[in-house]
Amino acid sequence: MDETPPPVSLPVADCSLCPFRGKTLLMGRCMPGDTCIFVESGRQIDRFFRVNPGYASRYLTDKFWERRAIAVRYAPQKELGALINDEDEVVRRAVAYRLSPSQLPCLLQDPDREVRMTVADRIDLEHLEQLAEDFDYIVRLMVARRLPVGRLFRFIKDEDEEVRICVAGRLPEVSLGLMAHDPSANVRRVVAERMSCEDAVMFLRDEDWVVRYNAALKVDIRELSVLLDDPEPDVREVAQQRLSCLTNAMDSDHD
């Protein structure tokens, strides 16, 4: 039995109604069912504008949201300001990708988080911190990834773990102590891994075994005796191995 699925039927417009039929069709710059502006098919519309970008401007106010959104990709940048408050978030997302960074402050309060994410990724640094209090953690995370290191301190107590992990990975080493008592073990793991060997001693009795393990790898060997009876085998092993190396080295010197 032939189980081959039937071919997908592509939407095809009536070319007799198209005002471009005497131009783009005759020139081979559009094709029914493949490259067409009049069907509600994102792929066909995009192909049309890719071949005929000069027509994009006239569709920035089209009733069909996807036609407007695709037209934004091809229309001159100077004509996109009118779509900053478009009723459709997909259109505004496309606008956020196209506007120059200096124009993006007008989208800082957009209700759509993906619009604000795009703004956070592209806006000039002088305006970026205006998104530091955004209610969506993904937006704040993007801000934390881009802000200059010296301006990250406001995120040390951020309510979201992912944001704090990002901050722990970027703070200067001398400031890591500010996050040493973070409630999240995942944050403390990053801090212990990046801390100086002298400061990492504070983590040898941490409740999380991975934090203790990270600390055990870097602290002075003489500090490791507290881990020889650690309940976690991997922590005991690394402490024993490092202490054995010290003992062997001392024996060699004695010989």
Q: Where are the alpha helices (DSSP H) in the chain?
A: 42-51, 65-74, 89-98, 113-122, 125-128, 137-146, 161-170, 185-194, 209-216, 233-254
Q: Which pLDDT value is given to residue 31?
A: 84
DSSP reduced 3-state for 30: coil
* DSSP symbols for 143-194: HHHHS-GGG-GGGTT-S-HHHHHHHHHHS-GGGGGGGTT-S-HHHHHHHHHH
The CA distance from 19 to 106, in Å, is 36
What are the residues whose beta carbons fall under 8 Å from the beta carbon of 214, sequence distance 6 or more?
189, 192, 193, 200, 203
What are the tokens at 33?
Answer: 């069912």
What is the fold, at CATH topology level, of the domain defined by 11-98?
Leucine-rich Repeat Variant (1.25.10)
Q: Where are the domains of the chain?
A: 11-98
The residue assigned the tokens 């976690």 is 232
Q: Which pLDDT value is given to residue 28?
A: 78
What are the residues whose beta carbons fall under 8 Å from the beta carbon of 171, sequence distance 6 or more?
149, 152, 156, 178, 179
* Count of other CB atoms within 10 angstroms of residue 18: 17
Q: Which pLDDT value is given to residue 26?
A: 61
The CA distance from 147 to 152, in Å, is 7
Q: Which pLDDT value is given to residue 6?
A: 45
Q: Which pLDDT value is given to residue 9?
A: 56
HSE at residue 37, side-chain half, CA atoms within 13 A, is 27
Q: Which pLDDT value is given to residue 1?
A: 46
Q: Which pLDDT value is given to residue 34?
A: 87
In a structure prediction context, what are the per-residue pLDDT tens digits for the chain, which is 255 residues long? Answer: 455 554 445 677 677 777 887 778 767 788 888 898 888 899 999 999 999 999 999 999 999 999 999 999 999 999 999 999 999 999 999 999 999 999 999 999 999 999 999 999 999 999 999 999 999 999 999 999 999 999 999 999 999 999 999 999 999 999 999 999 999 999 999 999 999 999 999 999 999 999 999 999 999 998 999 999 999 999 999 999 998 876 655 555 554
